Amino acid sequence: MGGYELLAGTKAPVRVWTDPWGIEPEAARQLRNIGALPWVDGVAVMPDVHYGMGATVGSVIAMRQALAPAAVGVDIGCGMSAVRTSLRAEDLPDDLGGLRRAIEDAIPVGFTMHDEPVNPKRVPGLDQRGWKAFWDGFDDLTAKVGQLSNRASRQLGTLGGGNHFIEVCLDTHSQVWLMLHSGSRNIGKELAERHIGVARRLPHNADLPDRDLAVFLSGTPEMAAYRHDLWWAQEYARRNRALMMALLCGVIREISPQVAFDEPISCHHNYVAEETYGGVELLVTRKGAIRAGRGDLGIIPGSMGTGSYIVRGLGNDDAYNSASHGAGRKMSRAKAKKTFSVDDLKEQTAGVECRKDPGVVDEIPGAYKDIGEVIERQSDLVEVVAHLKQVVCVKG
């Protein structure tokens, strides 16, 4: 069922991997605004598309010599990691509630953080390369975040809240997988908001249809400063997930000391990359989209009750080698809280050890699109490698 349609009324091609008439009006307006920008080469719209700040979530924006920081978003480098273990379903403890509590004890969630920064050298299984150089780079970030060093170091290896999660899953062969979703925590947000504010004040952005589409232009000091901080925040997010995964593997090792872990799969889905298409060098912003170049392994999660997919990219240049980052919301958090009850949450997450309280009703599976349909819509972008179903889900 893969293939795209063109969204009418735009200057640059806006290719849509879903029914264009099914896109919510606010999101369609955003897409047309993006497609009208003079720097845009094209836009690829994923089947999980929905309204976001400045740019739609679930879109890929390819620009010539320009970047819109609000299109990247405030959770710079947000993404997924997954690893297959040697365990099978029968190897898991009978008390999955105890397993969830052990994970929550090892990895702070929500607004909490580690009491002291985690020393990477003391975490078994964690890649030890580059940590000193990475942290030395903090001092070169925009001066206004200098006072956040302690917080940033204590939040490294923590989950956060919202739609971020840690899961223990089973594939269709009853093999146990570990999966998590998180980003650059508060430091990414602070950096993003400062640069978004700078972009809005630049004279060339004065007449844009949406002030959240303000861009930096190549060759300017503002662009150089943003790209420097952006790359660092993306690396923070990657290392955050790597540290959490190592801590999560440690929890599993307590259950089964002989467990073995495959090579982790990791992918950003809120980030910028330098890529070339048709001989043109472009800055590709994936806001709620993963890279799906030929052979690239990626992760497309559903919701806390519906499972996820491990996929392999097919390398479709029309989509700038991209695919969706998840199921995508079909209703806002506010609407979800008004629509669903805790009893609905319990029903829709039956069989999953997870929170079932008012604080996570906005994350109920019914607030998300059908992940099966989302996968079907992008059959020309990715192929399915594994279908996972969670048995434990940790939310912030």
Q: Which residues are catalytic?
A: 325
pLDDT score, position 77: 97
pLDDT range class, residue 8, cuts 50, 70, 90: confident
pLDDT range class, residue 226, cuts 50, 70, 90: very high
Average pLDDT over residues 62-69: 97
Instruction: Residue 307: name the closest of 392, 367, 395 by CA.
Output: 392
Q: pLDDT digit string (tens) for 290-302?
A: 999 999 999 999 9
Average pLDDT over residues 59-88: 97
Using alpha carbons only, how large is the chain's radius of gyration in Å? 20
State the DSSP code for 136. H
DSSP letters of 90-111?
GGS-S-HHHHHHHHHHHS--TT
Alpha-carbon dihedral 267, 271, 273, 277, rounded to 10 degrees:
90
Average pLDDT over residues 5-18: 93
Report the length, in residues, of the chain: 396
Q: How far apart are CA 279 and CA 300, in angstroms?
A: 30
Average pLDDT, the chain: 96
Instruction: Residue 291: name the closest of 258, 260, 265, 325 by CA.
Output: 325
Model pTM? 0.96
Q: Quick check: 283 pLDDT over 90? A: yes
Percentage with pLDDT > 90 across the chain: 95
Instruction: Residue 72: name the closest of 290, 286, 327, 291 by CA.
Output: 286
Q: How far apart are CA 118 and CA 154, in angstroms?
A: 7
pLDDT range class, residue 66, cuts 50, 70, 90: very high
Q: pLDDT digit string (tens) for 100-159?
A: 999 999 999 999 999 999 999 999 999 999 999 999 999 999 978 989 999 999 999 999
pLDDT score, position 214: 96
Half-sphere exposure of 15 (CA within 13 A, CB side): 21
Q: How far apart are CA 250 and CA 266, in angstroms?
A: 18
Q: pLDDT digit string (tens) for 341-373?
A: 999 999 999 999 999 999 999 999 999 999 999
Phi/psi-derived region of residue 165, left when phi > 0, alpha when psi is between -120 and 50, beta in every other case = beta
pLDDT score, position 87: 98
